[in-house]
Amino acid sequence: MTTSNSAPRRALRAIDIFFLVVAAAAPLAAIAGNGALGVLLGNGVGMPASYLISGVVLILFAVGFVRMSPHVTHSGAFYAYVRHGLGARAGGAAAFVAIVVYLMMVVGSTAGFGFFANVFFAENLGFDLSWKVWAALSLLAVGLVGYREITLGARLLSVLLTLEILILVALVVSVFWPSSPAVVTFGSFKLSGVFSGSFGLGLMFAFCSFLGFESAAIYTDEAQEGHRTVSRALIAAVLFIAVFYAIAMWAVIIGFGEDKVVAAAGENPGTLIFRAFGLYLHPAFIVAVEFLMMTSALAATIALHNAASRYLFALGREAMLPQALGRLHARLQSPHIASLVVSAITSVLVAAFAFGDADPLMTVLSSTFGLAALGIILLQAATSLSVVVFTLSSRREAGFLFDLTIGLLATAGLAIVAVLVVMNYATLTGNLGLLDYAPWLIPLSAAIGIGAASISGPQSGVAGKRAA
């Protein structure tokens, strides 16, 4: 038996949300993929600084979110902030864009798991199954975890994410160890290095490495102290991702040498991280990295599935989607129907790619995460803009100038990155034929969201307040 009226169990601590958020960002895969591409196509040795600059912009975004959060009394997802600042129709547009973005990321991450699982088992155990089989198994496992209570997923992600972080720490320590043959240089943080090559592309790839951090807001109704818990987790996650990515990428650059790393990335950016481990650590670490690339993709898929489910759940409660999606499992208190719908939709999409014999990395992952990068950055920019509008409408409150400045800086920074993604979309995804038109899904989904918000009318605000 299920109910649509009870609120989710407030079981998540700040550390649980931190793991859910950072796991969605997939640190190991982000360094191996976006980091290496940023070195090759972006600003080369300046890539570590690109992570820090991206982190500054996103910290501004997070601060604006935190300052506005006490005034948002309903559902915690970012679309609620857009609605609060820019109105119901803008909120509906943001919500439906977010749904498309997260569903696409689940599909891409599933394909990524299939690819890395095939590589690991084929190379190390002689067990050569197609990525399609591994992807199907992944969808089943992720669906089971997503159906159950959120704390189960958080515990599993904490283990997988800790292993990812530890193996990257091992590389950093081995490179910077006093007896290491690496020569420590600081060109990555000098202006000449930061603005070498294509700074814009480097910044774009850096921002793409943060995809998933914004999902913290989705867990407000399940956090022990609501917005307060989410705010702590969000800021901690952004700080961690920015600093950790910068240090890890700096270690890779130092490992090859500033004068050689771009050429090394040019040989094959996809294997840059593996070669770095091979230069400084025992060959067993390469096997471990291959294994953790697989688990990183699995962890990201679980986190992204949870995020997508909670968007459907929130919109079901607010009558912008069928209200059955807003029901909770009577015993588990999980949004089980929303989770099943996410599993069904992503399974159909993965199957479509599989039957089309698409390449799991160059087609599936590239197209879905390219679309997600654009959608998430636009969603963040809209949220920052809503902070600005809200601040202007409540200018008598203390800290008015501070809040306004923070909101304007974050909005401007995110708008610039959105323009960079649009201008360099083919560089981000490659030429994918019909899939090059995927960005049109964003205005289409926004239009549907506006229509849904118009039809649901005042019900959405009332439902959200009742469920908070």
351-362 average pLDDT score? 89
Out of 103-112, 264-273, 328-337, 373-382, pick the least confident: 328-337
169 exposure class (CB count in 10 Å sphere: 0-12, 13-18, 19+)? middle
pLDDT at 342: 95
Q: How far is CA 32 from CA 165, 292, 422, in A?
A: 13, 12, 23
pLDDT in tens, 135-182: 999 999 999 888 876 666 667 777 888 888 999 999 999 999 999 999
d(CA 255, CA 55): 24
Out of 9-23, 191-205, 302-316, pick the least confident: 9-23
d(CA 91, CA 78): 9
390: region left, alpha or beta (phi > 0 left; psi from -120 to 50 alpha): alpha
Is a pLDDT exceeding 60 seen at residue 464? no
Out of 211-225, 288-302, 378-392, pick the least confident: 211-225
Q: Answer for the pair 138, 115: CB distance below 8 angstroms, yes or no.
A: no
d(CA 363, CA 100): 18
Residue indicated by tokens 């699995």 = 298
Confidence band of 44 (pLDDT split at 50, 70, 90): very high
pLDDT at 258: 93
pLDDT at 47: 95
Q: How far is CA 384 from CA 15, 124, 406, 461, in A?
A: 25, 47, 9, 20
Structure tokens at 350: 């993965």
Q: What SS3 class is residue 328?
A: strand
313 exposure class (CB count in 10 Å sphere: 0-12, 13-18, 19+)? buried
Q: What is the pTM for the complete model shown?
A: 0.84
pLDDT at 261: 94
pLDDT at 104: 93
Q: What is the mean pLDDT of the chain?
A: 85
Confidence band of 260 (pLDDT split at 50, 70, 90): very high
pLDDT at 1: 38
DSSP of 352-396, one letter per residue?
HHHHTT--IIIIIIHHHHHHHHHHHHHHHHHHHHHHHHHHHHTTT
Confidence band of 462 (pLDDT split at 50, 70, 90): very low
Residues 6+ apart with CB under 8 A from 359: none
pLDDT at 253: 96
d(CA 16, CA 209): 20
Confidence band of 468 (pLDDT split at 50, 70, 90): very low
Q: Answer for the pair 138, 378: CB distance below 8 angstroms, yes or no.
A: no
Give percent of the chain above pLDDT 90.
Answer: 36
Q: Which of 102, 3, 56, 21 is nearest to 330 (CA)?
A: 3
Cα atoms in the Cβ-side hemisphere of radius 13 Å centred on 142: 34
d(CA 318, CA 321): 8
pLDDT at 463: 39
pLDDT at 168: 94
Q: Answer for the pair 345, 103: CB distance below 8 angstroms, yes or no.
A: yes
More confident residue, 429 or 106: 106
Is a pLDDT exceeding 90 seen at residue 107? yes
414-438 average pLDDT score? 81
5-9 average pLDDT score? 55
Residues 6+ apart with CB under 8 A from 284: none
Q: Which of 461, 465, 393 is nearest to 89 (CA)?
A: 461
85-108 average pLDDT score? 91
pLDDT at 340: 94
276-304 average pLDDT score? 90
333-354 average pLDDT score? 91
356-360 average pLDDT score? 88
